[in-house]
Amino acid sequence: MATNGQIRAWIGLAPPESRPGRLASADIAQRIRDEMGPVPDAEEIRFDATINEVGPAIDFAINHPDLDVLRAAADDLKDALRGFPATYDVVDNLQTSAEELRLTLRPDAQALGLTLVDVTQQLRQAFYGQEVQRLPRGGEDVRVMVRYPREARENLDAINQVRIRTPDGREIPLAAVAEAEFAPGINRIQRRERQRTVRVSAEVTDPDAARAIRRQITEEFIPDWQERFPGVSVGAIGQAEGEAEFLGEIVMLQLVMIGMMYVLLAVAFRSYAQPLLIMTAIPFAFAGAVFGHMALGVPFALFSMFGVGAAAGIVINDNLVLVDFVNRLRERGVGAFQALVDAGVQRFRPILLTSVTTFIGVLPMIAERSTAAQFLKPMVVSLGFAVVFALFLTLLMVPALYAIGVDIKRTVLSMWTGQKRPGIGSGYEGDTSGTDVDIGASHQPAE
């Protein structure tokens, strides 16, 4: 379909599961691009593999008040981007500008009473025309324009023959009052940070290479480039700007979430240390999500952070169940080591089932290879593997950290009071999970 100077073509593909070797849509688009080759006189060529394309993979905005400096800086940046094997379609938004006629008024023109507005207006009247009247015809108005004949208007050399009328009625050649030259025009003026902006963009053959290219350009090329073009500032926009903005917001929201969790747990447990013990699951949930992405070869996307947040709530709940049960046993007079063992035995089944059922619940979507499932796959991979990874944290590391904390507290009390206390676990009596304890009796918690 050809419309408004654009030619578009849509190619329908079979579902991924029906293609030989499960060939990806991006690979097919790249193969078509390679076979098509360069297109002469084309200002921009794009091959989009999905309907969710968000623009070029690499996009920079260059700011400077001088357009000539911007054009030179943009050309230099494009040359640097073309030096990477993975980049193609390196363009800027000045390439689509058309040639226009620019007039510069001569100093002698002011003595004749002419301004640049007078000269450009008369030149426009000569080629575009001046409406002198409208005639009714067929229920509509027909405009009557006065201008040069068609032969003169279709010949650019006729510009040199144009005569400009002065306020006193004299007619003077255009060359005597103004200098005319053709230069690239400006289709639209873009501004960023209150300065004129030029966008330089590039596509990449490998999506994973875009971040490395942006980092290399920023760290190695930009410092020397800014020395060659003083006053020029540059910033990554498009996907990079969106990712940075999203990550900044999600980090802030997660910090608020962690703070609220800590406050609620501190109030419930009446302790400042135990909430930190319970919340150790959060970094390990993130580690499990990273391991899951590496094991399945799934890129760590923005939606992966949502999966980590959801998994953090589940694994914190497992830790909370274990620590709360330990506290209940210690309130009944059970020693710390005894309470840890008994809590691990009695809470093992619910903690294990919570993690396993969560992983099994998201396993069908993890194994799904359809195009529609790829959108949410990073999130479910993070959720499933983070829960499984944190299972071992809940059953092994949390009891160990709890015991270390009790041992540190015992050591501090022993140094403060001077009384030697028995080591942790010295009073372990084996499995007492089935022993009834008088809840109403008052006990001094054993160690």
CATH number of the domain residue 137 falls in: 3.30.2090.10
Do 116 and 147 share a structural domain?
A: yes
Q: Looking at residues 269-295, what average pLDDT do you find?
A: 84
Do 377 and 262 share a structural domain?
A: yes
- pLDDT of 442 > 60? The answer is no
Q: Which domain holds residue 373?
A: 242-417
CB 285 within 8 A of CB 315: yes
Q: Looking at residues 399-427, what average pLDDT do you find?
A: 74
Q: Residue 439: its pLDDT value, please?
A: 34
**Residue 428 maps to a domain:** no
Torsions phi, psi for 235 (to 5 deg): -150, 145
Do 207 and 79 share a structural domain?
A: yes
**Residue 424 maps to a domain:** no
Q: Looking at residues 24-49, what average pLDDT do you find?
A: 69
CA dihedral of residues 11, 15, 20, 25 (deg, nearest 10): 50
Do 268 and 408 share a structural domain?
A: yes
User: What is the total count of domains within the chain?
Assistant: 4
User: How confident is the model over 322-367, as pLDDT tens digits?
Assistant: 888 888 888 887 877 888 888 888 888 888 888 888 888 888 888 8
Q: Look at residues 266, 313, 258, 277 and name the one whose alpha carbon lies nearest to residue 398.
A: 277
282 burial via Cβ count (<10 Å: 0-12, 13-18, 19+) = buried
Do 331 and 311 share a structural domain?
A: yes
Do 144 and 23 share a structural domain?
A: no
Do 288 and 271 share a structural domain?
A: yes
- Can you tell me the distance from the alpha carbon of 303 to that of 164, in angstroms, rounded to the nearest whole number? 65
- Name the one residue in this structure whose structure tokens are 């091959």: 47
Residues 6+ apart with CB under 8 A from 305: 247, 250, 254, 382
When pLDDT is cut at 50, 70 and 90, the band that residue 234 belongs to is: confident
Top-confidence residue, 422 or 37: 37
Do 254 and 342 share a structural domain?
A: yes
Q: Residue 441: its pLDDT value, please?
A: 35
**Looking at 51-65, 154-168, 258-272, which range is the least confident one?**
51-65
**Residue 430 maps to a domain:** no
**Residue 427 maps to a domain:** no
Q: Which two tokens stand for residue 223?
A: 């410092």
Q: Residue 21: its pLDDT value, please?
A: 66
* Helix/strand number for the chain, H first, E second: 15, 13
- Can you tell me the distance from the alpha carbon of 213 to that of 289, in angstroms, rounded to the nearest whole number? 25
Which one-letter amino acid corresponds to residue 67?
L
**Residue 169 maps to a domain:** yes
**Residue 17 maps to a domain:** yes
Q: What's the predicted TM-score (pTM) here?
A: 0.51
Do 89 and 143 share a structural domain?
A: no
CB 382 within 8 A of CB 293: yes
Query: Helices marked H in 128-205 — which ranges?
Result: 150-153, 174-177
- pLDDT of 386 > 70? The answer is yes
Do 381 and 342 share a structural domain?
A: yes
**Residue 88 maps to a domain:** yes
Do 410 and 397 share a structural domain?
A: yes
Q: What is the CATH number of the domain that holds 395?
A: 1.20.1640.10
Do 269 and 216 share a structural domain?
A: no
- Can you tell me the distance from the alpha carbon of 34 to that of 28, in angstroms, rounded to the nearest whole number? 10
CB 385 within 8 A of CB 365: no
